[in-house]
Amino acid sequence: MSLTAPPKDWYIKKIARDEKGWIIFSLIICLFMFFWMILWHVYGKQNPSSITYTTTTAEFTQLHQAFSDKYKIGEDNNLPVVMPPAESDVFLLGQMWSWSPVLVLKKDEWYTFHLSSKDVVHGFSVQPINMNFMVLPTYDYTIKFKPTETGEYKIVCNEFCGIGHHMMIGKIVVVNDESELGQYGITKTN
Amino acid sequence: MFRTCDITGFKVCLASQKLIRINAVFAVVSLLIAVLGAILLVFTRWQEVHLLSSPWYYRILTLHGLNALIFWIVFFEIAGLYFGSTVVLNTRFCSPLLGWVSFILMAGGFIMVDVMVLQGKADVLMTSYVPLKAHPLYYLGIILFAVGALLGVGLFFGNLVKAKREGNVGESLPLFTFGLMAAAIIAVMTLLSGAVVYVPTFLWSLGLIESVDSAWYRLIWWGLGHSSQQINVAAMIAIWYLTASLTVGGNSVNEKVSRIAFLLYVLFICIASAHHLLVDPAVSSTWKVWNTSYAMYLAVLASMIHAFAVPATIESAQRRKGYTNGLFEWFARAPWGNPAFSSVFLAIIGFGFIGGITGVIYGMEQTNIIVHNTMAIVGHFKGTVVLGTTLTFMGITYYIIPLIFRKKIVAFKLAKIQPWLFFFGIAILSVSMIALGMFGVPRRHWDITFSGAIFSHDFNPVIGIFWVLMVLGGVVAFLGALIWLLIVVISVFFGPAVNGPEDFQLSIAEPAPQADHGHKFIAPGTLVASLIFMAALLIFFFLNWKWLSAIWEIQ
């Protein structure tokens, strides 16, 4: 009875065969799941980065501006369209309520993303592949991405950031080469 | 001052009974606010109706979260802690005066927070991540509530000391109170985290501190936000064991195992606040893997132990009463007419198969990438907190009304249906949300057609069906919750009094016979069910890792 003191022999009572078997089986599954996460770091291809830099909103905005100016190829809805070379650093800035700039990336190339916010906490959610990371002010989250499919992707903000939260949406285009830009409504102007 | 209960034989301290009653009443009021908010939110997320405006959507979402996850549950748990430490131990309340101080602080905080939110001065959602800023009185309200709750938890320990001194407990606490004690220890850690995070945030809102670091805030806040759900787990499982005793006369098949499992919760469960930081900057993979897995899944192991032990307790008792045919006669012949039993059994199924499986897999470091902040997370915790904790609390209330409020349950026939309505409603809602999250639909989002934005995104059109199912489940669950609320309020305030055992509509089962039931396994049916559960977990595990491997490469 769970409302009264346990029977005298409660501590020495033998554990039944099925209960003992279940506990051992559960423990094996638990350890399997734990080591699976570690092994995925060795053999898996999707692992969150452990690299973060502290920054200030002013410093990061400057880095983002310099990056946008350097690799700008055109404009889309008043946002710069930026096509950085493979292997380069990409500074993506979230703020109420936009992601800047619009990015053009090449398929199967690595890019080092730097994610930060100019104001409050935002959520970096790339659709439709459904890949999600957090973006915090004063922290530069440094993650390497390799796009594996061409196409148009949207960055939805999925952390509440004020009344215009639902309007915060950005764009990433992944291409094989520059000739495909027209398909995504991007004209190269410089 | 005591009365002796003519149904259970317990000595009931009258001062304690008053405190249990008032905290339970406030729990029900909080749930009512949460449920009214929930139905508005369901019809706003469903874009065909899109009921509320953007500011009111986030306002009601803030209100719903706080009332459902914090106020309803903590008020109920304080009532439960007082019950488990006084009535069950035939002990008087150590300090009724402080009990009232605790209640006034909690009630004051609760009212302050809800008023601020409804006035539109705290549109920051329940998590209130800095640097989003609310009115100082909002933060003060939460601090008052947390301090009141902490005092209440302290009084629980005070009652245990009193019971021990007065010789009302021997060497070991009853299992139910032991489980509550695990919940109370977790509550102390949780509420202290709340103080650590909200006091500086309050000072910042007053302009006395320049800034609060957003990563630090998230780390400590989840020490409150996630761990408070772990209090629920421990309290809920304590009630599962209690219900097994009350309804079928079962006692844990092995008390040592059950108690060790509670101990594992105390030791490891709080570090799982890392679940919320798996795709955050500022914390490393080593930190994430160790903490998110509760130190190699030792708290998950505890849940697996209870997942077997509680149904096994029921099965073993039923078998000893003679229901020994096949694997599941004990199950078919269980007291399904007792709404407390059906609530708890449905809660076990929902908590395990929906909340538990998704929780373990979404809480793994890498798989979190494909679900973080999507509707799948909301679906997960509807499975744990609503199907598990809330349904359990609803169920045990059917005993509290006659035993503590001394009132008959009105519309008892409706009470028998209510757990099923609520279970199926939330189960459909929850599974639909999980499906929506799999397609990338964000949580906490007013408009996924992105009206007014420079770009748009069309989610896979198949989500239309899941929105409809979500609304359907939401409406059914709303009815289930409303029936429960009406039964409780009408019974407590206007119901006929219970004047003796003849007015008691439920029953308290005699302890099952001690003799062995003759099967070589203590609970073969439960073992088979547990293995089916593990198979479901492994299937969902591999599906999610398969989906993860399809996205971009990430380093």
> Whole domain around residue B56: which residue ranges?
1-170
Question: What one-character DSSP code corresponds to residue B94?
Answer: S
Give chain B's mean pLDDT: 95
Q: Which residues of B455-481 are buried (b: 16+ CB within 10 A; e: fewer)?
A: bebebeeebeebbebbbbbbbbbbebb
Is residue A65 scored above 80 in pLDDT? yes
Q: What is the DSSP string of B365-381?
A: TTGGGGTTTBHHHHHHH
Span A51-78, mean pLDDT? 96
pLDDT at B413: 96
Dihedral of the CA atoms B4, B8, B9, B13 (nearest 10)? Answer: -40
**Nearest residue to A42 via CA among B241, B366, B287:** B366
Test mutation, B11, B247, B445, chain A, max A CBs within 10 A: B445
Q: Find the CB nearest A34 among B255, B293, B445.
A: B293
B288 touches chain A (CB under 8 A): yes
In a domain, residue A40? The reply is: no
Residue B546: its H or E element: helix B524-548
How many residues can be counted in chain B? 555
In a domain, residue A32? The reply is: no
pLDDT at B362: 96
Span B141-158, mean pLDDT? 97
Tens-place pLDDT, residues B311-349? 999 999 999 999 999 999 999 999 999 999 999 999 999
Please tell me the distance from the alpha carbon of residue B464 to that of residue B131, in angstroms, as a whole number: 35
SS3 B550: coil
pLDDT category of residue B534 using cuts at 50, 70 and 90:
very high
B442 touches chain A (CB under 8 A): yes
In a domain, residue B41? The reply is: yes
pLDDT at A41: 96
DSSP H helices, B119-254, are 136-165, 175-205, 214-225, 227-248
> Whole domain around residue A172: which residue ranges?
51-184
Number of domain units in chain B = 2
Is residue A187 scored above 90 in pLDDT? no
| Contact between B58 and A160 using a beta-carbon 8 Å cutoff | yes
In a domain, residue A75? The reply is: yes
Tens-place pLDDT, residues A119-150? 999 999 999 999 999 999 999 999 999 999 99
| Contact between B554 and A18 using a beta-carbon 8 Å cutoff | no
The answer to whether B474 touches B49, Cβ cutoff 8 Å, is: no
- Judged by average pLDDT, the poorest of A89-103, B71-85, B478-492, B509-523 is B509-523
Contacts of A40 in chain B (CB under 8 A): 365-366, 545
DSSP3 helix / strand / coil % (chain A, rounded to 5): 25, 35, 35
Give chain A's mean pLDDT: 95
Task: Return residues 139-168 of A near B (CB < 8 Å).
Answer: 139-141, 143-148, 154, 156-168
Q: Find the CB nearest A144 among B279, B456, B554.
A: B554
- CA nearest to B516 within chain A: A16
SS3 B416: helix
Encoded amino acid at B226, one letter: H
In a domain, residue B12? The reply is: yes
- CA nearest to B123 within chain A: A162
Where residue B366 sits, what CATH number does that domain have? 1.20.210.10
Q: Which residues, 6+ apart, have CB-to-CB distance to B261 below 8 Å?
A: B301, B302, B303, B305, B306, B309
| Contact between A23 and B366 using a beta-carbon 8 Å cutoff | no
Where residue A161 sits, what CATH number does that domain have? 2.60.40.420
In a domain, residue A42? The reply is: no
A129 touches chain B (CB under 8 A): yes
Q: Which residues, 6+ apart, have CB-to-CB distance to B522 below 8 Å?
A: A16, A17, A18, A19, B253, B312, B316
**Nearest residue to B350 via CA among B266, B419, B398:** B419
SS3 B167: coil
| Contact between B372 and A134 using a beta-carbon 8 Å cutoff | yes
A48 touches chain B (CB under 8 A): yes
Test mutation, B457, B519, B547, chain A, max A CBs within 10 A: B457
> Of B111, B136, B170, at which residue does a domain stop?
B170
Q: Which residue has the higher pLDDT, B154 or B296?
A: B154
Q: Within 13 Å, how many C-alpha atoms sit on residue B391's CB side?
A: 35
A86 touches chain B (CB under 8 A): no
Tens-place pLDDT, residues B364-392? 999 999 999 999 999 999 999 999 999 99
The answer to whether B364 touches A33, Cβ cutoff 8 Å, is: yes
Span B410-428, mean pLDDT? 97
Task: Return residues 159-218 of B near A (CB < 8 Å).
Answer: 169-176, 213-215, 218
Contacts of B181 in chain A (CB under 8 A): none
Which residues lie across from A134 on neighbouring strands?
A123
In a domain, residue B57? The reply is: yes
The values of phi and psi at residue B277, to 5°, are -115, 20
Number of domain units in chain A = 1
Neighbouring C-beta atoms of residue A28, cutoff 10 Å: 10
> Of B116, B135, B170, at which residue does a domain stop?
B170
A103 touches chain B (CB under 8 A): no
Contacts of B256 in chain A (CB under 8 A): 10-11, 13, 15
- CA nearest to B260 within chain A: A11
Contacts of A129 in chain B (CB under 8 A): 440, 550-552
B140: its two tokens = 């003060």
pLDDT at A123: 97
DSSP3 helix / strand / coil % (chain B, rounded to 5): 70, 0, 30
Question: B494 to chain A nearest CA, in Å?
Answer: 30
Span B298-305, mean pLDDT? 95
Please tell me the distance from the alpha carbon of residue B174 to that of residue A124, in angstroms, as a whole number: 49
Is residue B275 scored above 90 in pLDDT? yes
- CA nearest to A147 within chain B: B552
Please tell me the distance from the alpha carbon of residue B297 to that of residue B309, in angstroms, as a whole number: 18
Q: Find the CB nearest A139 among B170, B281, B293.
A: B281
In a domain, residue A28? The reply is: no
In a domain, residue B444? The reply is: yes
pLDDT at A1: 77
In a domain, residue B223? The reply is: no
In a domain, residue A94? The reply is: yes
A8 touches chain B (CB under 8 A): no
Is residue B142 scored above 90 in pLDDT? yes
Percent of chain B with pLDDT over 90: 95
B272 touches chain A (CB under 8 A): no
Question: B168 to chain A nearest CA, in Å?
Answer: 10
| Contact between B445 and A29 using a beta-carbon 8 Å cutoff | no
In a domain, residue B87? The reply is: yes
In a domain, residue B417? The reply is: yes
Name the strands in the sheet holding A79-82, side by side, starting at the edge strand that comes first in the sequence: A72-76, A79-82, A102-106, A169-175, A151-157, A122-127, A131-135
In a domain, residue B90? The reply is: yes
Please tell me the distance from the alpha carbon of residue A119 to that of residue A124, in angstroms, as a whole number: 14
Please tell me the distance from the alpha carbon of residue B295 to that of residue A126, in angstroms, as a whole number: 31
In a domain, residue A190? The reply is: no
Span B125-138, mean pLDDT? 96
Span B30-47, mean pLDDT? 98
**Beta-sheet pairing, A79-82 with A89-95:** unpaired
Q: Which residue has the higher pLDDT, B168 or A132?
A: A132
Is residue A190 scored above 80 in pLDDT? no
pLDDT category of residue B270 using cuts at 50, 70 and 90:
confident
**Nearest residue to B219 via CA among B269, B267, B276:** B276
In a domain, residue A168? The reply is: yes
- CA nearest to B531 within chain A: A22
pLDDT category of residue A84 using cuts at 50, 70 and 90:
very high
pLDDT category of residue B514 using cuts at 50, 70 and 90:
confident
Residue B300: its H or E element: helix B294-320
